[in-house]
Amino acid sequence: MAELTWHGHSCFTLVTDDGTRLIFDPWLDGNPVADITSDEVGELDYILVSHGHSDHFGDGLKLAERTGATLVATFEIASFAETQGITNVHSMSIGGGFDFPFGRVKMTPALHGGMVDGDESGIFTTVPAGFLLTLPPREGESEPRRLYHAGDTALIMDMQLLRGEVDIALLPIGDNYTMGPADAVRAIDFIKPSVVIPMHYNTFDLIRQDTDAFREAVGNRAEVVILEPGSSYEF
């Protein structure tokens, strides 16, 4: 089983069947709803950063430095990290995929802002992204398990290209900075995942949402799994 744990906002840790440890969009220190601090994150193998905003990249450099994990991000964010002394980086660009030892990672489009936290030069401004992970089938099974972390994004037509490619979709529902619940439901119509786990909501008042209403709006399109910070979903 792979274990996906939400830490609030868009930060998740994932431990794959083979014991590989990943973190998505690390923002724990200063995150008002996080269940742990960055110091409490154990060993890590990969750090996946969807874009450069502080609420996604805030703990990226310090975790990369402490754990030695590979930072997987756009070329611009990876290049900025290198200027900060991080040497273990794997840069990608939208539409590109790579077969890592634990599974495949493809960088998907997102429509959002591109500023990189900590980059005072402004030259590393990036295109925001999402990630599509394809993990190998569980023992005795034939189908891979596909997890989509949308990053911060508006509803975009490009999501239609993900139809049939995603089992579990991590979608922002907070509104204001990303798509809200209604557009997330339309995204589900585009993507047709089996399971949806909402993210990027209830971190602060501006993005407060009612998860019961969201579940009702999704209806029978997909199973909605509501996590609490610190709780996990196994797949």
CA atoms of 20 and 40, how far apart (whole Å): 17
From 45, 152, 175, 183, residue interacting with Mn ion (rule: CB under 5 A): 152
CB of 33 to Mn ion, least distance (A): 13
CB of 71 to Ni ion, least distance (A): 17
CA atoms of 207 and 178, how far apart (whole Å): 9
Residues that contact Mn ion, how many (by CB under 5 A): 2
> What is the side-by-side strand order in the sheet with 97-100?
97-100, 103-109, 129-135, 145-149, 168-172, 195-199, 223-224
Q: What is the DSSP letter of 156?
A: -
From 55, 119, 175, 183, residue interacting with Mn ion (rule: CB under 5 A): 55
CB of 130 to Ni ion, least distance (A): 12
User: Could you report how far apart the first and last alpha carbons of the chain are, in Å?
Assistant: 6
CB of 107 to Mn ion, least distance (A): 17
Stretch that binds Mn ion, among 36-44, 87-95, 120-128, 146-154 (CB under 5 A): 146-154
Q: What is the DSSP letter of 157?
A: G
Binding partner of residue 59 among Mn ion, Ni ion, none, CB cut-off 5 to 8 Å per kind: none
Q: Summarize as ranges the residues that interact with Mn ion (CB under 5 A).
A: 55, 152
